[in-house]
Amino acid sequence: PTTLKKEAAMSSGATLVADNNATAIDFNNLGALIAPAAAVTMSYTRGTIIKTIKVCLTGRITLGGGC
């Protein structure tokens, strides 16, 4: 296969922190969140850019919003 574009997962200097200190996120075969048992909110920071990412119990991932 031909690689069209290769990007690093995160740029140097970027941080991603889970607000409830989740060390792993597990999904079931339908895509729903198994562990942790509550939605996970994460903060992404890179310089002056700050984003909030939420992983909902349904498996939906939202940027800056609620479930």
Task: State the pTM of this model.
Answer: 0.71
Burial pattern 16-55, b for ≥16 Cβ within 10 A else e, equals eebeeebeeeeeeeeeebeebeebbbbeeeeeeeeeebbb
Backbone angles phi, psi at 40, to 5 degrees: -110, 125
Tens digit of pLDDT for each residue in 29-67? 999 999 998 999 999 898 898 999 999 999 999 998 788
**Residue with the larger pLDDT of the pair 10 and 29:** 29
Distances (CA, A) of 5 to 2, 12, 14, 46, 55: 9, 18, 20, 22, 27
